[in-house]
Amino acid sequence: MTRIAVFYLASFGTSLLGNSVTGIALPLLVLFTTGSPLGAGAVAIAAAVPAALAGLLMGSLVDRINRRTAAILSDLISAMALLILPIIDLTIGLSLGWFIAVAVLSSFGDVPGITAREAMVPAIARAAGIDPARLIGLRESLAGVALLLGPAVAGTLVAALEPVTVLWITSGTAALAAILTLAVPSRATAHPQERDRATTRRAGSLFLGLVILFRSPLLRAMLLLGVTLAVVLAATQGMVIPVHFAFQDEPQFVGFVLSALAAGLLVGGGLFAALGNRIPRRTWFVTGAVIVAIGFAVIGILGPVWSIFTGAAIVGLGGGGMNAVVGLTFVENVDEGQRGKVLGAQNAIMTLVPPAGIGAAALLIEFGSLHLATTVFAVLWIIAVTVALFNRRIRSLEQVRV
């Protein structure tokens, strides 16, 4: 593998690992500082809406400047935002207002950074002489590694250090991601000039990415499936599993479910990286969607601990291959000069979705039962998969370009 691909993947993995560790450490810091679970929830909500707006706003910027530059700027914004909290803690002292302000500022680094790295895949693949399918498969595997290591690293650091001290490390991780991205040659992520000039003139609308998403039957179907998966996963990970193990007086197992899911993602993404071009994409997509449904069904039974771990691993295995096909579809079916706007719109939507899943699960558990919640979400996934598979464009996934 060439140096370009290695540094691209390293920067992607480092950025995602930093986000994973921050996602554990920051809520703990809010709880330790304010003593209020409601405060932690307020910080999460405060970050969600600006993050979605950042996805829409910065998508156009990603299409106007070198995507390497956009990724570096995003990482630096995240690094500086995370650095504010330890400095404030050492000087005037932390309060809930500071957490909300930093969450809002950090949101303008996280989503645009993801968008820029996703949008540069074709250029990186061309410059590195690697097939885009393999690059995306490796990227999905790295996502699994980051999710696998993130909670473990965060738990170790929080046990050894104060949560506010951990933020010095996560800020440094974001800065390291920027340095690794800087090692990718600028020429490897530059826009094709002719196409860039043509699209820039007609790319003024803030909502152009949303318009392109919803006008394309193929992209719309992929987005529907992605949103449904995010809802069901958020509900399962964020509410159903924690409540189940709390009722069983076994809260220590919650983290292992995420690790099983991440291990499945690692294997699924790795298989796609190795075999992506040897098996039709529709086969990958359909098989992945069905495997995910089986995994959710196994989890939904809420049986012995080992069965829940197995179900999470099955969900990850199917999701790794399916997500790779979705990512490749967006890469291949969106014009170079519009990819940032479209991916930015997609990421903006995906940022808002998880709280809806967790909220819906909470209502179903409160007024029904855990088994009602798992049944509803399993059926929701099956319906979404059925609708997607009847989409004419998905049935001819290998040939279609929009």
| DSSP sequence for 143-206 | HHHHHHHHHHHHHHHHHHS-HHHHHHHHHHHHHHHHHHHHTS-GGGGPPPHHHHHHHHTT---T
State how far the Cα of 106 lies from the Cα of 34, in Å rounded to an integer: 20
Q: Is there a contact between 314 and 298 (Cβ–Cβ < 8 Å)?
A: yes
In sequence order, which residues have a C-beta less than 8 Å from that of residue 260 and are 6 or more positions away? 309, 310, 312, 313, 316
Cα 233 → chain centroid: 12
Q: Can you give the pLDDT at residue 313?
A: 92
| Interatomic CA distance for residues 292 and 311, integer angstroms | 9
Hey, what's the torsion of the CAs at 322, 323, 324, 325, to 10 degrees?
60
| Residues of the chain falling short of pLDDT 50 | 193-204, 399-402
pLDDT in tens, 83-120: 998 898 888 887 878 888 887 787 777 778 888 888 88
Which residue blocks in 216-280 are alpha helix, DSSP H? 217-235, 241-247, 254-275
Q: How far apart are CA 210 and CA 227, in angstroms?
A: 14
Which CATH number fits the domain 205-402, given the four candidates 1.20.1250.20, 3.30.565.10, 3.40.50.720, 3.40.190.10?
Answer: 1.20.1250.20
Please report the pLDDT score of residue 29 as a whole number. Answer: 77
Q: SS3 of 32, please? A: helix
Q: In whole angstroms, give the CA distance from residue 140 to residue 133.
A: 11
Residue spans of the domains in the chain: they are 1-131+146-190, 205-402
Half-sphere exposure of 353 (CA within 13 A, CB side): 18
How far apart are the C-alpha atoms of 215 and 219, rounded to whole Å? 8
Q: Which amino acid is at 347?
A: N
Spatial separation of the C-alpha atoms in residues 45 and 274, rounded to whole Å:
39
* Residues 146, 27: Cα–Cα separation, whole Å: 19
Residue 125 near residue 1 (C-beta atoms within 8 A): no
Tokens coding 75: 């990482």
The per-residue pLDDT for 1 is 57
d(CA 329, CA 339): 12
Residue from 277, 265, 224 nearest 257 by CA: 265
What is the C-alpha separation between 30 and 213, in angstroms, rounded? 36
**CATH fold group of domain 1-131+146-190:** Growth Hormone; Chain: A; (1.20.1250)
Decide: 51 and 112 in contact? Cβ < 8 Å: no
- Fold agreement (1-131+146-190, 205-402): yes
Measured in whole angstroms, how far is the alpha carbon of residue 43 from the centre of its chain?
19
Do residues 113 and 71 touch, judged by C-beta distance below 8 A? yes
CB 109 within 8 A of CB 75: yes
Confidence at residue 33, expressed as pLDDT on a 0 to 100 scale: 75
3-state secondary structure of 13: helix
Which whole-number Å values give the CA distances from 294 to 87, 92, 146, 308, 393, in the listed order?
Answer: 47, 52, 24, 12, 24
Rounded CA-CA distance 257/81 in Å is 30
